Amino acid sequence: MVKASAPGKLMLFGEHAVIYDKPCIVASVDHRISVSLEKRNDNNIILTAPELSIKNQIISDNLEKSHFKKVSFILAAVNNFFKKCDLKSGLDIKTQSEFSDKIGLGSSSAVIVAAIKGLSELFKIKMNEKEIFDLSYQTVLDVQGLGSGFDVAAAVYGGILLFVTGGKIISPIEITDMPLVVGYTGIKADTPTLVKMIGEKLLKEPDRVNGIFNEIENIVNLAKVEIGNKDWRKVGHLMNLNQDLLRRLGISSKELENLIKAALDSGAYGAKLSGAGGGDCMIALADKENSNNVKRAIEKAGGKIIEAKIPAEGVRSE
């Protein structure tokens, strides 16, 4: 039996613009998903996923009927790995998750990456990080049809990364700690709908939306330097500027704005939504001494604090 695990992620800067070939900055978080794999003597793929209340379910025959997105991702990861390596085998697969798939921390990408790493160990096929990234990203596109792959990169490489769509650039920003506070709105973001909405806006108002993307690109490039410098005051200011541009794209929400305001009013250097918008999590940057104040203010405004250490280690064998 083999076991591999991969971390979740938070988008720090550059969401949406990254789909259109602009850079973004993504951080891995220390909430992991692990996948255990064992060969079987028959051809069945059997899944146990306690977090989805799935126990010993054959998933190889009924992908179409599956109600669970995560099941489709795991099966697609297995099929893509077998196709690439010209292999076939039955498998017992067990997943274990340290975070809910409802909060936008990237459970789909983490489970795909952990599964592919585990498969490469089980079948003794050497894969480097870029090969794991490419096969995992292909799996995301096969199942979901869209996405820049920033979440897959965080799951594979860990750390904090400057990233451009499809892995054209994956460049680490070398820091070991970032004092981020994470507040969950309680609302699940609908990423595909929001990504399509921005695509339609871009068609209708190309000059305005491209102008916003260019401004986001400038902010990302400045943020890369200031994160490296650990200048949290400047990073916080850049977060506020990025949030303002996301507002102008129309993807913030009342709930996100309430939590962002609470964080800023209680002394955070900066705060913004993280991810597609419309819900999921917001992030705030606050000194260690002030972080409890910021957390309390976010809770008072109706948010749930997700305790998370940033950054985390990328995919690994357990």
Active-site residues, by number, are: 151
Q: Note whether 18 and 164 are within 8 A (CB).
A: yes
At its nearest, how many Å lie between ligand MEV and the CB of residue 66? Answer: 22
Measured between alpha carbons, how far is 233 from 226 in angstroms, rounded to an integer? 9
Q: Which is nearer to ligand MEV, 183 or 275 (CB)?
A: 275
Considering the complex, state which of residue 18 and residue 264 has its C-beta at the smaller distance from ligand MEV.
Answer: 18
Cβ proximity to ligand MEV: between 15 and 101 the closer is 15
C-beta separation of 224 from 162 below 8 A: yes
Q: Is 1 exposed, middle or buried (0-12, 13-18, 19+ CB in 10 A)?
A: exposed
11 belongs to the binding site for ligand MEV (CB under 6 A): yes
19 makes contact with ligand MEV (CB under 6 A): yes
303 contributes a contact to ligand MEV by CB under 6 A:
no
Residues 267-286 that bind ligand MEV (CB under 6 A): 275-276
Number of residues engaging ligand MEV in binding (CB under 6 A)? 12
Q: Supply the Cα-derived Rg of the chain in whole angstroms.
A: 19
Residue 106 or 118: the one with the smaller Cβ distance to ligand MEV is 106
Span 166-225, contacts to ligand MEV by CB under 6 A: 191, 195
Secondary structure class of 79 (helix, strand, coil): helix
- Does residue 148 belong to the site contacting ligand MEV (CB under 6 A)? yes
- Return the range that interacts with ligand MEV (CB under 6 A); candidates 13-21, 27-35, 127-135, 214-222: 13-21
- Write the Ramachandran bin of 198: left for phi over 0, alpha for psi from -120 to 50, otherwise beta: alpha
Task: Show Cβ contacts of residue 50 under 8 Å, excluding neighbours closer than 6 positions.
Answer: 95, 96
Residue carrying structure tokens 């939590």: 259
State the minimum distance, in angstroms, from the CB of residue 251 to ligand MEV.
8
Instruction: Write down the residue that tokens 């938070």 correspond to.
Output: 10
Q: Is 16 in the site for ligand MEV (CB under 6 A)?
A: yes
CA atoms of 83 and 260, how far apart (whole Å): 45
Q: Name the residues that contact ligand MEV, by CB under 6 A.
A: 11, 15-16, 18-19, 147-148, 150, 191, 195, 275-276
